[in-house]
Amino acid sequence: MSKSHDETNGKHDPSRRSFLKGVGIAGAGAAVVDRIWVEVEAKEEQPAAPETLSGNVKVVLDVNGGKVPVEVEPRTTLLNALRNHAEPALTGPKLVCDVGTCGACTVLLDGKPAYSCLVLAVDAASRKITTVEGLGTPENLSVVQSAFIEKDGLMCGFCTPGFVTTISAYLKKNPNPTLAEVQEACKGNFCRCGTYPRVFEAALAAAKSGRV
Amino acid sequence: MKAFEWTNPTDLNQAVKLLSNNAGDIDDAPRPIAGGQDLLTTMKDYTSRPTRLVNLKNIKGLNRLSLDAKGLTIGALITLTELEEHQGVRKQMPGLAQAAHSIATPQIRNLGTVGGNLCQRPRCWYFRLEEVNCLKKGGSECYAVTGENKYNAIFGGGPSYIVHPSDLAPMLMALGAKITVVGPAGKRVIPIEQFFTLPSEGNIRRENVLKNDDLITEIFVPASGFAGSSTYLKFKERDSLDFAMASVAAAVQKSGNTVKDARVVLGGVAPIPWRVPAAEKYLIGKTLTKEVMNETAKLALADAKPLEKNAYKVPLAQTLVRRALAIAGGVTA
Amino acid sequence: MQQQQPAKPKKKIKVVRPVNGIDQEVEIEVDADSGPGWGPNDKHTLLNHPWPRVDGPLKVSGAAHYTYDMRPKGMLFARILRCPHAHAKVTKFDSSAAEKMPGIAAVIQGPLTELRYAGAPVAAVAAKTPELADDALRAIVVTYEVLPHVVHAQKAAEPDAPKVVAEEQNLQQKAKAGDLAKVEAAFATADAIVEAEYISARIHHACLETHGVVVDYSGGETATVYASTQGTFTIPKDAATQLGLKESDVTSVVQHMGGGFGSKFGIGVEGMFACKLSKQTKTPVKLMLTRQDEFVMAGNRSGAWQKIKAGVKNDGTLVALQARQYRLGGVGQGSQAGQPYIYRAGDFYREIYALHTNEDATVAMRAPGHPEASFAMESLMDELAYKIKMDPMEFRKKNLRDPVYHRQLDRGAKAIGWERRNPVPGGNPGVLKRGMGCAVGTWGGGGNDACKVDVTIGRDGSVLVSVGTQDLGTGTRTFTRAVVAEELGLQISDIKEEIGNSKLGGANDSGGSTTAASLSPSVKDGAYKARMLFAERVASLFDNAKPEELTFTNGNVSGKGKTISWKQACAALPSAGVTGHGVWRQDLQASGIHGASFAEVEVDTETGHVKPIRMVHVQDGGLPLNRLTMESQINGGMIQALGMALWEGRVMDEKLGVQLNPGLGDYKIPGSLEIPEMIPIIDDDDKREVVIGIAEGCIIPALGAVVNAVFNACGVRVRETPLTPDKILMGLMNA
């Protein structure tokens, strides 16, 4: 431990990590790590001891442009952090398969679609996270969201946030896709009610509007 | 998922040290994590129970992707999306871009890395089920032998009959890649053909020569006369999201109409990427006619030993060999 | 002494009803205070038009809250411990270590001590996080006495097979029908005979929202139970029993739910555990099944094994059919419609058996028993048609009495381009071969009298329609508004609805395509009655016109030459507004639908890969309430059938007795690349002015259509679903 443990100097000290082994939820507040994702400065000749986290840790997530503090374990997925720990809960991303085979939990990490069930919250702290809630609200829908409604690209709606998120990101990457390209782009999102044809229509209509 | 300690090393030495603690069988040892797209799924069903995860993403120098006259260098942290979208790779090693593109879904490719793809664990459902203690998990039986073995190996099986799930591996083997590994003793370079291990020859709990505290840092794909023709064909039961029922990585170098050099590696049929030298040798000096491609396909599958429910893989892989050769050789199938 | 209720005054009206398959006007009796009928299907202003669903904005923005999304303060997360053995007795249960783990609030053992399938629930834990609950499950030590098991149907039928239930035979005859002697005689007159065995795999509902509840109870006298259910009113009684509360003190809430397809009624084992845990801890508890739980313990569609023999004349007349049908229901009874299903078969004889295996009990799934029967019968019909070299569509018509099927087959054939079909199986040139198939199906879809609907018109012009029903994603909210809006001459956006709460008016469970036909007549009745009450109250504004003299159009109320805006007219209402109490009107609904499906596929004859090219389904249903959502549902039926045909099936390991594919990676539902061009067709030639549910109708025949298209394309008849590439390729190799 070569560095100061003084928290009052305003600098974040990468060596001062939580060592909360075995601390249950009740005791977690005692040791605080406000931000765990810290780049070690390249200049340092002797790298600091590696950051180590266990037990309950505090993480600040950057979600939809705002700071979302959560207290989680290292094993808590980003999806569970958003749904079970964030206040208020962010439940747009859905827990369906929990192993990256359905797409219902899709969020954008730095603008790219990712399965939030396959990302640890502690590993997401340095990323810009966008959930479906960040794409538009019922009162102020995005073009893609409006197209889903107009084309009826939803039934039970449980897969819908994932599809909306995936397609919103894809149309930014490819504003003028073919049907086949849309199908390829959302092959990581699954629907059980059978909304696919109209999801595709919605994506193409949103693209055609030129307002995405 | 079992609780673990999350560590953030900033250099390779630290990472290797963190991995060496508590060494045991792979399923209980500390594990490196990059994209985590496979690792986390094995942890969620407690198939692997690492006490510590060693995050590789803060280690500098593992995300190089550069192509020059000597070949292609791929850092272990390069994502599958980055590889498939690299214009130079698409042009000069098209099979590699195709293999990357064939993997899983856009979401997984956005986070999944090249290193992780090579080190992913088998998909055999007996292996993946928490309730089943199969041979590969330290149990006494490979249940696929007499069970539901439709997706299992037709080559190289015994005593375990998994197939290797990686799509990059067959293509990288066809292109003669070399894998740089860092461990406690320092750096070593392993030709890809020596990287993967059959259940009968290596540690049955693993699929490759790596030890618990070894890390892939880089993959080098040498420039060659055939890389530009390389082709990867993957056959999936469900196109949207699936592993290969069978796949073929092929590359052909021609002189005029004559084959000068060729590579044929099968995927999804064996516990390791399955190179077929007999087929490659046969092709040399031949013109890629339908008969020649048929014969090559036959040779490639000649030694297959199907289990009760996977005999279909023989004609399926034969078809893929013919088609891949036709594309690589620029002729009609 | 029970008092005699005074007989309600009645009146007679004429409605269109199918008689022997042909629509005819018949006279029925209805309550005298009933309003007029729906009127001609093509004269509606809102109904029978396409409307986007009203809950769309919430659902596309993540603002719709499902049961899974509920998180009452302090809520615990519960998980279920599953039995790893296919058949075992619990001899010892030790949860002491688990109870001592951090964050664990309670562990309870389930009621079962003999477990007859792998995945059977043994115990449940509640913890502060799902991660901690997962740990605790693995710290429970259960000692089992492992018993012999059998999970493959053919093995279970063998005489020395292990018994699934000790005191019962695995194979039990459940029904028989027809005259065997007559059938045998009829076979002698046939020109051609086909005898074949068909097996359809057990299919999973794979609802994206797993089964589960959130019990909001913190001690005290009342509780709210959020449930992912198809029946709001199937929850309170059982939940109250488990919680030790009065039924009236338990409210169930179902605002949005993520798919049920027949599998979600009642609180289930998950609800039982959640209530017990909540009662014990006096803390809210969420218990949503994990995906693996969902596969192995939440029920699935009955499998089927059918041995059928049929004889035909060369002119295409089916003269005899004999069937031995096994319902594969695991530890349950399974379901399967009797053969010859919808066809006229001269003489027939069938025996239906339940065949037990050590698998969880099957439950209803979208048209229970029908796609299974249809798959076998439509395959057989196809085989017969090819055998006598007759067009399969003409062959079907020959053996279908109901002219509606003929009309629908013609319509579908035109839409898919049946004339492009090569009559020779596998006869198209090249490696990629296309083919087409067709099939037909039927369902009931009528309603019942469970719905009590309040339609309240406020003095501020607001209109609220209230009923406890649930919207599974079928568009219930939307048509509920539309029915009221049309009756009152308003727009859909002028109406608000409240549903999904057991404190509101009663409603039926959404099973068997019964919701539309139960609910919409009740809503219309409520809206009509509200309109009449309204008209009475505002009569003074219209020179005291009689209620039936007022007309309601375009947001205006008119009568006796005067027109006043809706809002102005509403201002004349009393402060409480007026409320019409709607009850079911039998005359506004009916039962009996028809559907015809067509599929075109392309088979890669060197790999066995099947690429769906195009699917068509023609569906009648009387009055379409909302054309947009109805078409979506037809698409959904086709896509689920496509999944059954080509990819989906539970895989069991005989030795271990476990399901090998209990996840969405290995259990393969169709994804975006599997979807062909979809052509849903609403059969507007159906002039019946009644509402009929269509959800089941559109899943049944599409399965047979796809299977038959594969045969037409490549000449390989696969008689066991799913038609995966390995089966097709081996068929081609062995041809």
Give per-residue pLDDT as tens, C565-583.
999 999 999 999 999 999 9
Decide the pairing of beta strands B215-222 and B71-75.
antiparallel
Q: Report the distance separating Cα C307 and Cα B71, nearest Å.
A: 62
pLDDT digit string (tens) for B151-202?
A: 999 999 999 999 999 999 999 999 999 999 999 999 999 999 999 999 999 8
Q: Do A154 and C291 touch (CB under 8 A)?
A: no
Closest chain C CA to residue B313: C726
Q: Which chain A residues have a beta carbon less than 8 Å from that of C52? A: 149-150, 152
pLDDT band at residue C34 using 50, 70 and 90 as cut-offs = confident
Q: How far apart are the CA of C84 and the nearest CA of chain B, in angstroms?
A: 6
Beta carbons of B148 and B125 less than 8 angstroms apart: yes
Q: Do A188 and B108 touch (CB under 8 A)?
A: yes
Phi, then psi, of C404 in degrees rounded to 5: -60, -40
- Specify the pLDDT at position C17: 60
Q: Report the distance separating Cα B137 and Cα B27, nearest Å.
A: 8
Q: Which chain B residues have a beta carbon less than 8 Å from that of A52? A: 5-8
For CA atoms A162, A164, A168, A173, the dihedral sign is positive
Q: Do A196 and C259 touch (CB under 8 A)?
A: no
Closest chain A CA to residue C292: A97
Closest chain C CA to residue B133: C656
3-state secondary structure C271-282: HHHHHHHHHHHC
Choose, out of C51, C53, C61, the residue to mutate when testing the contact with A (most A CBs < 10 Å): C61
The residues near C597 (Cβ < 8 Å, ≥ 6 apart) are C412, C438, C439, C440, C441, C615, C616, C617, C618, C638, C641, C701, C702, C704, C705
Residue C581 bridge partners (DSSP): C454
Decide the pairing of beta strands C76-82 and C285-288.
parallel
Res C146 pLDDT > 50: yes
A–C CB contacts, 8 A cutoff, strictly below = 195
pLDDT band at residue A11 using 50, 70 and 90 as cut-offs = very low
Which chains reach chain A with 3 or more Cβ–Cβ distances below 8 angstroms? Answer: B, C
- Specify the pLDDT at position C680: 98
pLDDT band at residue C5 using 50, 70 and 90 as cut-offs = low
Residue B274 bridge partners (DSSP): B266
- Specify the pLDDT at position C80: 98
Q: Do B131 and C118 touch (CB under 8 A)?
A: yes
Closest chain C CA to residue B317: C607
> Is the CB of residue C678 less than 8 Å away from at least one CB of chain A?
yes
Q: Report the distance separating Cα C507 and Cα C500, nearest Å.
A: 9
Closest chain B CA to residue A162: B107
In the numeric block, the tokens 């053969």 are attached to: C339
> Is the CB of residue C72 less than 8 Å away from at least one CB of chain A?
no
Res C246 pLDDT > 50: yes
pLDDT digit string (tens) for B30-56?
A: 999 999 999 999 999 899 999 999 999
- Specify the pLDDT at position A10: 35
Q: Which chain B residues have a beta carbon less than 8 Å from that of A100? A: 37, 40-41, 104-105, 107-108
Q: What average pLDDT score do residues A123-143 get?
A: 97
pLDDT digit string (tens) for C621-651?
A: 999 999 999 999 999 999 999 999 999 999 9
Choose, out of B6, B18, B41, B107, the residue to mutate when testing the contact with A (most A CBs < 10 Å): B107
- Specify the pLDDT at position C258: 98
pLDDT band at residue A42 using 50, 70 and 90 as cut-offs = very low
Beta carbons of C616 and C677 less than 8 angstroms apart: no
pLDDT digit string (tens) for C40-55?
A: 999 999 999 999 999 9
Q: Do C473 and A157 touch (CB under 8 A)?
A: yes
Which chains reach chain B with 3 or more Cβ–Cβ distances below 8 angstroms? Answer: A, C
Q: Do B237 and C725 touch (CB under 8 A)?
A: yes
Q: How far apart are the CA of A108 and the nearest CA of chain C, in angstroms?
A: 14
Residues 626-665 of chain C whose Cβ lies under 8 A from any Cβ of chain A: 628-629, 631-633, 635-640, 663-665
What's the token pair of residue A185?
Answer: 């782009």
Task: State pTM to two decimals.
Answer: 0.94
Q: How far apart are the CA of A120 and the nearest CA of chain C, in angstroms?
A: 13
Q: Which chain A residues have a beta carbon less than 8 Å from that of C670? A: 196
Phi, then psi, of B218 in degrees rounded to 5: -160, 150
- Specify the pLDDT at position C725: 98
Q: Do A54 and B3 touch (CB under 8 A)?
A: yes
- Specify the pLDDT at position C32: 76
pLDDT digit string (tens) for C74-103?
A: 999 999 999 999 999 999 999 999 999 999
Q: Which chain C residues have a beta carbon less than 8 Å from that of A95? A: 68, 288
- Specify the pLDDT at position C6: 64
The residues near A140 (Cβ < 8 Å, ≥ 6 apart) are none
Q: Which chain A residues have a beta carbon less than 8 Å from that of C208? A: 94, 96, 102, 104, 156, 158-159, 190-192
Mean pLDDT, chain B, rounded, equals 97
Res B222 pLDDT > 80: yes
Minimum-distance CB partner of C726 among B131, B312, B320: B312
Complex ipTM? 0.97
pLDDT digit string (tens) for A151-188?
A: 999 999 999 999 999 999 999 999 999 999 999 999 99
Closest chain A CA to residue B61: A42
pLDDT band at residue B129 using 50, 70 and 90 as cut-offs = very high
| DSSP code at position C10 | E
Least confident of A9-13, C26-30, C73-77, C280-284: A9-13
Q: Which chain B residues have a beta carbon less than 8 Å from that of C84? A: 131
Least confident of B20-29, B286-295, C220-229, C341-350: B20-29
pLDDT digit string (tens) for C284-316?
A: 999 999 999 999 999 999 999 999 999 999 999
Which chains reach chain C with 3 or more Cβ–Cβ distances below 8 angstroms? Answer: A, B
Task: Look up residue C358 and give its amino acid.
Answer: N
> Is the CB of residue C131 less than 8 Å away from at least one CB of chain B?
yes
Closest chain B CA to residue C726: B312
Q: Do A50 and B2 touch (CB under 8 A)?
A: no
Q: How many CA atoms lie within 13 A of A63 on its CB side?
A: 26
Q: Do A137 and C61 touch (CB under 8 A)?
A: yes
Decide the pairing of beta strands C432-443 and C593-604.
antiparallel
Residues 87-116 of chain C whose Cβ lies under 8 A from any Cβ of chain A: 102-103
Mean pLDDT, chain C, rounded, equals 96
Mean pLDDT, chain A, rounded, equals 83
The residues near B114 (Cβ < 8 Å, ≥ 6 apart) are B74, B75, B76, B77, B78, B79, B80, B83, B100, B168, B219
Q: Which chain C residues have a beta carbon less than 8 Å from that of B312? A: 608, 725-726, 729-730, 733
Q: Do C628 and A152 touch (CB under 8 A)?
A: yes
> Is the CB of residue A153 less than 8 Å away from at least one CB of chain B?
no
Q: Which chain A residues have a beta carbon less than 8 Å from that of B37? A: 100, 115, 118
Res A30 pLDDT > 60: no
Minimum-distance CB partner of A150 among C52, C68, C291: C52
- Specify the pLDDT at position C360: 97
- Residue C710 CA to its chain's centroid (Å): 26
- Side by side, the strands of the sheet bearing C551-553 are C551-553, C556-559, C562-565
- Specify the pLDDT at position C473: 95
Beta carbons of C204 and C301 less than 8 angstroms apart: yes
- Specify the pLDDT at position B21: 66
Q: What average pLDDT score do residues B218-232 get?
A: 98
Q: Do C725 and B235 touch (CB under 8 A)?
A: yes
Q: Do B4 and A75 touch (CB under 8 A)?
A: yes
Q: How far apart are the CA of B93 and the nearest CA of chain C, in angstroms?
A: 26
> Is the CB of residue A180 less than 8 Å away from at least one CB of chain B?
no
Q: How many CA atoms lie within 13 A of C93 on its CB side?
A: 18
What's the token pair of residue B310?
Answer: 């996977």
Q: List the one residue out of B16, B1, B114 whose CA is nearest residue B49.
A: B1
Res B92 pLDDT > 80: yes
Minimum-distance CB partner of B235 among C607, C651, C666: C607
